[in-house]
Amino acid sequence: MIKRHFFLIAAAALLGLMIVALVLRMAFADDDKGGGRGPGGGARGQSVSEAVA
């Protein structure tokens, strides 16, 4: 039974680990960065500051 469904079980385990990694990455992400991935490379966002006189 295990030998027959080894690759299915391995794929499900790998998918579960990827989901856990994604959740941990979102939990520990810096909130001061704007935007996500896109043009400009990676997850580096552009921070904009506004000065009020």
Give the residue-averaged pLDDT of 3-19. 93
Q: What domain range is 4 assigned to? A: 1-29
The number of folded domains in the chain is 1
Query: 46 lies in a domain?
Result: no
Using only the alpha carbons of the chain, give its radius of gyration. Answer: 19
Q: Is residue 36 part of a domain?
A: no
pLDDT, tens only, 15-53: 999 999 999 998 887 655 555 555 555 555 566 777 776
Asked, for residue 17, whether it belongs to a domain, the answer is yes
State residue 38's pLDDT score: 54
- Closest to 27 in 3D by CA, of 35, 19, 38: 19
In a domain, residue 25? The reply is yes
